[in-house]
Amino acid sequence: MVPPPRFAGARFDTYLPDPAQPSQAEAVEVLSGFAAGLGPGPEPEGGLRRWFGRGRKPAAPAGPRGVYLDGGYGVGKTHLLASLWHATPAEPERKAFGTFVELTNLVGALGFQETVRTLGGHRLLCIDEFELDDPGDTVLVSTLLGKLVEAGVGLAATSNTLPGRLGEGRFAAQDFLREIQGLSAHFRPLRIDGEDYRHRGLPQAPPPATDEEVERAAHATGGASLDTFPALLGHLSRVHPSRYGALTDGVRAVCLTGVHPVPDQSTALRLVVLADRLYDREVPVLASGVPFDQLFGEDMLKGGYRKKYFRAISRLTALARDARRLTDPADGNGADGDRAGRDRARPED
């Protein structure tokens, strides 16, 4: 549970705040102070560190024990979260970083009590893409974070939704208001304003390739995958989303033919998870068919999961730009040029 490859080098001093958005500089200042305040923590009894941290526990402080980064997609929240993980003065085994889905999967794999014991000795838990999509997750995470706060664990999370509004438009949030408010009490919300750096000032997203271009690039690129889009969607339906990261191991490029709008919400949400894992691992995506901004229907883009879909469109479009080098390696404005320009202009999110 460490920051993914894209953010292995993320640091506060590599985050470049937009002068027009004071909240970005404020976030760096607040998070830097939060990291320093966590400290390495007390030594376990007997002077020996233990993997699961069963030592003396510090008393939980009054007030929020965490920070919650709220803002639109592409403003650098994940960069800041990873920077916090790196800046916290604790050994790597005493701090954890993962997505909300990975956290719930961890509970499923270890069981609730063992998860509490495993994470309870940590100084920091970073949760990226915090979402509450069903009542069960609401109660589970609320209870888990409450236990971790009692154990003195610092919390940090990113989301596109303020803590008090988690779950809106997806299930009867009012029926679980107590649990949602309990979650909110653990965090100090920190709003980060700004534009999506991935596309600000860049040319329009490249048009889809032809089937022939996709197939030719796949055969010419070592480690590339080649699938039809319907076959990919069918395969994702048979693999648990917790395995999508492993699914991409060793893949240097994803080549898809026949991309079309996704037919239903379950399929769309699986595609969102895959897009996040591909983006984390910087895997370019070359595709034929419809452009990525036409993947999700208007009803989806107006529904409760709309922010997930917009994030997926933003990330897939960035990966499509990266894929231009597969069809034209000599293009000076291709993937490598785009990435360098983005790194100079804005941090990764």
The pLDDT tens digits of the residues spanning 309-318 come to: 888 898 899 8
Nearest CA among 57, 12, 54, 49 for reference residue 30: 12
The pLDDT value given to residue 170: 43
Instruction: Encode the chain (349 residues) as per-residue pLDDT tens digits.
Output: 889 888 888 999 999 888 888 999 999 999 999 998 886 654 444 444 444 444 444 444 444 678 888 877 678 888 999 999 999 988 888 999 998 888 888 888 889 999 999 999 999 999 888 776 566 777 788 888 889 988 989 999 887 654 445 444 443 444 434 555 566 677 788 888 876 655 444 446 678 999 999 999 999 999 999 999 999 999 999 998 878 888 998 999 999 999 999 999 999 999 998 998 999 889 999 999 999 989 999 888 888 777 788 888 988 998 998 998 888 755 544 333 333 333 333 444 5
What pLDDT score does 182 carry? 65
Using CA atoms, how far residue 185 sits from 110, 130, 239, in Å, is: 26, 15, 35
- pLDDT at position 229 is 97
CA separation for the pair 313, 184 (Å, rounded)? 28
* Predicted local distance difference test score (pLDDT) of residue 162: 46
Residues 6+ apart with CB under 8 A from 157: 66, 67, 68, 69, 81, 100, 126, 127, 128, 130, 187
CA distance 322 to 324: 6
- Phi/psi at 263 (5° precision): -80, -25
Query: What would the two tokens of residue 32 be?
Result: 């830097």
> Quick one: pLDDT at residue 346?
41
Distance CA 107, CA 112 (A): 5
Report CA dihedral (141, 249, 93, 122) to the nearest 10 degrees: -10
Sign of CA dihedral 219, 223, 229, 230: positive
Instruction: Pick the closest to residue 321 from 205, 173, 149, 199 (CA basis).
Output: 205
pTM of structure: 0.65
Closest to 64 in 3D by CA, of 94, 25, 37: 37
Torsion sign, CA atoms 119, 125, 129, 131: positive
Cβ atoms of residues 49 and 61 within 8 Å: no
